Structure 1
């Protein structure tokens, strides 16, 4: 028996639409549709999630679907996640740029001045390319707390510098006004 038929049967037994099942698995409705129509196979992680959701064994879910069993047992490795590629690629690029800057005797402050605008533009571009609905569904409470702490720690030096500069400027103006009397 094909896994797509099994998924559809269990989904209907639990009175779930394709969209509702997709939301519970944090995937698109189109993925569910492709599985049920036999156009695609779920990943092992999704097979486990489906078996947990419907409280059935993986064996009950995949038994008889030889193409899925072959794909799960063939040792096919999933491609690297996109986040992993971003992190590793960023680290490698950072190390390469560090070596280049050291060899050219460029100071960190100079490099920071050169990259301020490109960093802002790239960050805004990144924000516009993220699927926020799917991203929000994938965040756990622990991830949100760690993200808040990380962002706070990253922003503290800039906040400290800007607030201090503003306070010193205001104090200098007040002192100049006081001395003119």
Structure 2
């Protein structure tokens, strides 16, 4: 029996819901669901906390599942990679700022690098905590981050004299809103239908044909028909591809309790 099945059975024996366990462990209900479905594993500290909460020994909890130690090790490795990633981006920012200031005696292109890497760090943090936050929080945070990044990038490019006319309001904002609307629509459908993520990706790419058409209108592509066709074919191909994949791979329904 896998550790996920053991956790699920013991939780039900204690008459606890996933939400109640999540509150006591300070994680999301989605995280509990993922552990019980063996989609991923808790880290070692959380395994010990689960052992105490469920009043079950670590020996009973961990034995028979040969993949659990590897899974816990992968979880611990991800915790190590996070600080390393932030450290590398932080050092990169400092080096770029220093080089730019030495060469130009003021900050120019390095501000763009700074803005890009900080946004990347925030995005990595959001998805690194995906087991603790709901999809709505993740997509919402990413949406705000995208619009904020484009707005700040527009200001920085103007300040650095890389561009002379603002692109945010006439182009970047409406294009972003079109694609964010499509992503939010697909996410809502996915959460309601609870089907394979491949089907949702298929819908997203098929809707991408409409998104590409609206994008080409906003950016005033010339000729319009050629731009629409060239953007529609990849979306159509990917939509069909993920539809076929959805026939072979399914996303298990989340445990209701």
* TM value normalised by structure 2: 0.36
**Structure with more contact order per residue of length (Cα contacts < 8 Å, sep ≥ 6):** 1
* TM value normalised by structure 1: 0.49
Greater C-alpha radius of gyration: 1
